[in-house]
Homo-oligomer: A and B are copies of this chain.
Amino acid sequence: MSTGAAPRGRRPGAPDTRAAILAAARTSFADKGFAGTTIRGVAGEAGVDAALVHHYFGTKDDLFLAAMELPVDPRQVIGPVVDGGVDGAGERLLRAFLALWDDPEVSPVLVGFVRSVLQPGGERLLTEGFLPVVLLPVGEALGLDHPEVRMPLLMSQVAGLIVTRYLVRLEPIASLPADAVVATYAPVLQHYLTADLPDLLR
């Protein structure tokens, strides 16, 4: 999407129109959650036409990801993970995760995002945002049975890895080379993706 195209709406050309839309989107996602946010509502708050929001940011999913200010679009990172099929998907997911989280330029941004998710009220960024926009589609694309159970289980080990390796910096986890992290955790992630689910979960 080119920002050089002439934008439509009440405030065409205003240099901070994009910023105003993003600010309104952030407020709405935080206050109303992902499901309660509409492009029309965000446009209204920002004082622009809904068409301009679509023009700048695309779908509501795109707007959500832009509002999170992640340094990457996680859906692009996830593509190769899905393309390889379910065999080895745990390891490929983990390597894609580590490529971002172990990058010293990207990691602080991600830590900041996680800290805001962990604030009281911030959980909707995960439960109503990241989970349905990024994580569940991965499980569905992999053809998992019960992706709505398996992806949260996988998320629970990834969350623990984030907390111990990047937030709390618990040793030896914090200092493990990426290959050791993969050797340790990929089997557990794969277990959540493909092992028989306990009857109590189905």
Contact = CB atoms under 8 A, between A and B. Distances in A.
Interface string A60-90: 0000000000000000000000000000000
Interface residues of A, number: 40
Given A123-B169, A126-B170, A164 B152 contact: yes
B117 A157 contact: no
Given A159-B159, A173-B152, A168 B123 contact: yes
Interface string A139-172: 0000000001100110111111101110111111
A176 interface: yes
23 contacts: A118-B163, A118-B167, A123-B169, A126-B168, A127-B168, A149-B172, A152-B164, A152-B170, A152-B171, A152-B173, A153-B173, A153-B184, A156-B160, A156-B164, A158-B160, A159-B163, A172-B201, A176-B201, A177-B200, A180-B200, A183-B199, A184-B200, A188-B191
Given A115-B118, A127-B170, A180-B201, 18 more contacts: A118-B163, A123-B169, A126-B170, A127-B171, A152-B171, A152-B172, A155-B160, A156-B164, A156-B170, A156-B173, A159-B168, A160-B161, A163-B163, A180-B198, A183-B198, A183-B199, A184-B200, A188-B191
